[in-house]
C-alpha cells in the first residue's frame, strides 16, 4: 500500500539571489500526529536541507515557529496536518515583517519596541533580598495575570493590519506587556512607560480591529490590554490637566 | 543590548496591499464598523440643522418638517438608522472588551455585558418614545 502524502507549498526566498519569493511544492508523508513543523523538519532532513525556518521547543512555549499557514498566522508546532488533509498546505513567512530568508523574518524592529516598553518590574528602590518577597493579594495578581502568558511569537503583529500599514506602531504584544507591568502592584514604572504608550505610535494608533486577540495562541487578549491602556492614559492626561498635583 | 541587524538590502519587504481589507471577513467588518460612523456624523449634522431651524422660528421649523417628510429624506433616515444600529451594537460589543465587570468577585461574561448595554439602550430609547408620544 502506498503511503498517504500531503503537499506543502512553501515560500522560498534566497537573499541577494531572488528578487521575489517563489513557492515550491513538497510532498511529505501524511501522519495523523504530525504538526506542520514536523513536515517542515521532514523536508529539511530528507528533501531539501537549504530550507530555513525558526523553531525550538515544539510545544507552543518558545514562540519561535510562527508562520502563515494557509494565510493565517499560526505556531507551526500547534497545527496538525490532519486538519488540512486531503487539501494542500501553504506555508509562508509571517506577514508584515521583512523576509530574511525562506520562512525567517527580521524581528529586530520588534525587539527594539519590546525594549522600549520596559517589560520588567521597575522599582523606585529595591529592597534587600533578606527582607523577603513582594507580597500580592489574589485580586492584585488577577489584575495582570491574564497578560503574563505572552511568548513574543509575533502572530499578533501579523494579524494586525495597522502594524502592516504603520510599521512604527509599537504593536499588540509590546503594548500588552506594558499593560501587564503597569497593572502589577510591585511595579513603579508606569510613568516611565507613559511616553511610549501615549506616543503617536503607541496605544492610540490602534483602531481596535481586534484580530491580535483572535490570533494569539496563548489567549493573552492584547486588544483588551491596548484599549485599557487608552483609558488609563486618558485618565492620566485628565489628571495632569485638571489637578495641579496630577501625576503624569 | 546591541542587536546584530541584517543588511536591509538583503531583506524582502512585505508591504500590505491596498486591498488588505478584503483579505479577511473580520477586516472587512472592521472597515464597515468604521464606515458606519460617517452615517452617525451625517445624522448629527441633520439634527443640528433641525435645531437651527427650530431656533429660527415656527415657520422655518414647519418648512423643515415638511421637507423631512419627503420620501428621499425618509429613505436617508432609514439608511442612517440601519447603520446606526450596526454601529451601536458593535460599539457595545467592543465596550465589553474594554471594561471588565465583576459581580461578587466573579467576572461577568462579555456577552452578558453587551446584552446589559443593549438592554439599557433599548430602555432609554423606549422612554424617549413614550415621553414624546405623551405630549
Residues of chain A neighbouring B34 (CB-CB closer than 8 A) = 207
- What is the average pLDDT value for chain B, to the nearest integer? 91
Q: Tell if the CB–CB gap between B6 and A13 is shorter than 8 Å.
A: no
Domain boundary among A68, A90, A105: A105
Cα A232 to the center of its chain, rounded Å: 23
Q: Is residue A248 part of a domain?
A: no
User: Under an 8 Å CB criterion, which residues of A touch B?
Assistant: 13, 15-16, 18, 20-21, 71, 93, 95-100, 106, 108, 111-112, 115, 161, 164-165, 207-211, 213-214, 221, 223-224, 227-228, 230-231
Is the backbone of residue A58 left (phi > 0), alpha (psi -120 to 50) or beta? Answer: left
In chain A, the residue whose alpha carbon lies closest to the alpha carbon of B13 is A98
pLDDT given for residue A1 in this prediction:
61
Domain spans of chain B? 22-133
Among A26-35, A106-115, B113-122, name the one with the lowest average pLDDT: B113-122
Q: B22-133: which CATH topology?
A: 3 helical TM bundles of succinate and fumarate reductases (1.20.1300)
Predicted local confidence at residue B2, as pLDDT: 61
Q: How far is CA A163 from CA A84, A177, A182, B117, B130, in A?
A: 29, 17, 23, 31, 47
A65: domain CATH number is 3.10.20.30
Out of A8-17, B78-87, B96-105, least confident range: B96-105
- Residue A11's domain comprises 5-105
Q: What local confidence, expressed as pLDDT, does residue A164 receive?
A: 96
A113 and A230: one domain?
yes
Picking from B14, B16, B27, the nearest residue to A209 by CB comes out as B27
Domain total of chain A: 2
In DSSP terms, which residues pair with A90 in a beta bridge?
Answer: A9
**What are the residue ranges of helices labelled H in A61-102?**
none
pLDDT 10s digits, A150-170: 999 999 999 999 999 999 999
Contact (CB, 8 A) for A95 and A104? no
Partners of A157 in the beta sheet? none
Residue B30, min C-alpha distance to chain A (Å): 6
Tell whether A117 and A219 lie within a shared domain.
yes
User: What is the structure's pLDDT at B101?
Assistant: 82
**Considering only CB atoms, which chain A residues are within 8 Å of B9?**
16
Q: Give the distance from residue A95's alpha carbon to the nearest chain B alpha carbon, in angstroms.
A: 6
Residues A61 and A148 in one domain: no
Taking alpha carbons only, the member of A25, A17, A13 closest to residue A101 is: A13
Same domain, A72 and A123: no
Give, for A130, the enclosing helix (H) or strand (E).
none
What's the whole-number average pLDDT of chain A?
95
Residue A125's pLDDT band (cuts 50, 70, 90) = confident
Q: What is the mean pLDDT of residues A205-217?
A: 95
Give residue B4's pLDDT: 76
Predicted confidence band of residue B108 (pLDDT cuts 50, 70, 90): confident
Work out the average pLDDT over B26-44: 94
**Is the domain of A90 the same as that of A171?**
no
Given a cut of 60, whether residue B1 has pLDDT beyond it is no
Q: What is the pLDDT of residue A244?
A: 75
Residue B98 pLDDT? 86
With CB atoms and an 8 Å threshold, state whether A164 touches B3: no
- Judged against a pLDDT cut of 90, whether residue B28 lies above it is answered with yes
In the predicted structure, residue A194 carries a pLDDT above the cut 70: yes
A116 and A234 housed in the same domain? yes
Quick one: pLDDT at residue B132?
Answer: 86
Secondary structure (3-state) at A36: helix
Residues in A touching B21 (Cβ below 8 Å): 161
Question: A17: nearest CA in chain B?
Answer: B10
A70 lies in the same domain as A151: no
User: Are A79 and A66 spatial neighbours (Cβ–Cβ below 8 Å)?
Assistant: no
User: Among the three residues A70, A105, A140, which one is the final residue of a domain in this structure?
Assistant: A105
Best B16, B27, B34 member to test A by mutation, with max A CBs in 10 Å, is B16
Both A117 and A203 in one domain: the answer is yes
Residue A197 near residue A117 (C-beta atoms within 8 A): yes
Task: Specify whether A119 is located in the same domain as A232.
Answer: yes
Q: Please tell me what DSSP assigns to residue A43.
A: I
pLDDT at residue B102 in the model: 81
- The pLDDT of A38-66, averaged and rounded, is 97
Terminal CA-CA length for chain B? 71
Residue A247 lies in a domain: no
The pTM for the full model equals 0.90
CA angle B10, A105, A72 (to 5 degrees): 135
List the CATH number of the domain containing A211: 1.10.1060.10
Whether the predicted pLDDT of A247 surpasses 60 = no
| Residue A87 domain flag | yes
As a whole-number percent, the residues of chain A with pLDDT over 90 amount to 90
Q: Do B94 and A71 touch (CB under 8 A)?
A: no
Please check whether residues A197 and A237 belong to one and the same domain.
yes
Same domain, A68 and A131: no
Residue A239 Cα distances to A199, A203, A245, angstroms: 18, 18, 8
Distance from CA of A1 to the nearest CA of B (A): 40
| Binary contact (B20, A161; C-beta < 8 A) | yes
Question: Out of B3, B16, B97, whose CB is closest to A165?
Answer: B16
Q: Are A127 and A187 part of one and the same domain?
A: yes
Q: Which of A20, A103, A98, A111 is nearest to B11 (CA)?
A: A98
pLDDT digits (tens, 9 = 90+) for A12-37: 999 989 999 999 999 999 999 999 99
Amino acid at each position: 500500500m502506498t503511503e498517504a502524502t500531503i503537499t506543502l507549498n512553501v515560500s522560498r526566498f534566497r537573499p541577494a539571489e531572488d528578487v521575489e519569493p517563489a513557492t515550491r511544492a513538497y510532498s511529505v508523508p501524511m501522519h495523523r500526529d504530525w504538526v506542520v513543523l514536523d513536515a517542515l523538519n521532514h523536508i529539511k532532513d530528507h528533501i531539501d536541507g537549504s530550507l530555513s525556518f525558526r523553531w525550538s521547543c515544539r510545544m507552543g512555549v518558545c514562540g519561535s515557529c510562527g508562520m502563515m499557514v494557509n494565510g493565517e498566522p499560526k505556531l507551526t508546532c500547534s497545527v496538525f496536518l490532519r486538519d488540512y488533509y486531503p487539501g494542500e498546505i501553504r506555508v509562508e513567512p509571517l506577514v508584515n515583517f521583512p523576509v530574511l530568508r525562506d520562512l525567517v523574518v527580521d524581528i529586530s524592529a520588534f525587539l527594539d519596541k519590546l525594549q522600549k516598553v520596559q517589560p520588567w518590574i521597575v522599582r523606585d528602590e529595591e529592597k534587600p533580598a533578606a527582607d523577603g518577597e513582594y507580597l500580592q493579594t489574589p485580586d492584585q495578581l488577577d489584575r495582570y495575570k491574564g497578560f503574563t502568558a505572552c511568548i513574543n511569537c509575533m502572530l499578533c503583529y501579523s494579524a494586525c493590519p495597522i502594524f502592516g500599514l504603520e510599521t512604527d506602531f509599537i504593536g499588540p504584544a509590546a503594548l500588552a506587556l506594558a499593560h501587564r507591568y503597569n497593572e502589577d502592584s510591585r511595579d513603579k514604572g508606569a510613568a516611565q512607560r507613559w511616553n511610549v504608550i501615549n506616543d503617536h505610535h503607541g496605544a492610540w494608533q490602534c483602531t481596535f480591529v481586534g484580530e491580535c486577540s483572535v490570533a494569539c495562541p496563548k489567549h493573552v487578549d492584547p486588544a483588551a490590554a491596548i484599549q485599557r491602556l487608552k483609558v488609563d492614559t486618558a485618565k492620566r492626561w485628565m489628571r495632569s490637566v485638571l489637578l495641579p498635583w496630577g501625576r503624569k | 543590548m546591541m542587536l546584530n541587524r541584517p543588511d536591509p538590502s538583503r531583506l524582502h519587504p512585505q508591504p500590505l496591499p491596498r486591498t488588505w481589507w478584503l483579505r479577511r471577513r473580520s477586516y472587512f467588518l472592521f472597515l464597515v464598523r468604521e464606515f458606519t460612523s460617517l452615517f452617525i456624523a451625517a445624522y448629527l449634522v441633520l439634527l443640528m440643522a433641525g435645531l437651527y431651524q427650530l431656533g429660527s422660528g415656527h415657520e422655518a421649523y414647519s418648512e423643515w418638517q415638511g421637507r423631512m417628510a419627503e420620501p428621499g429624506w425618509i429613505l436617508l433616515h432609514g439608511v442612517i438608522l440601519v447603520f446606526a444600529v450596526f454601529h451601536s451594537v458593535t460599539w457595545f460589543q467592543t465596550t465589553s472588551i474594554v471594561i471588565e465587570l465583576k459581580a461578587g468577585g466573579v467576572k461577568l461574561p462579555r456577552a452578558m455585558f453587551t446584552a446589559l448595554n443593549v438592554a439599557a439602550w433599548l430602555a432609554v430609547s423606549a422612554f424617549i418614545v413614550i415621553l414624546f408620544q405623551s405630549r
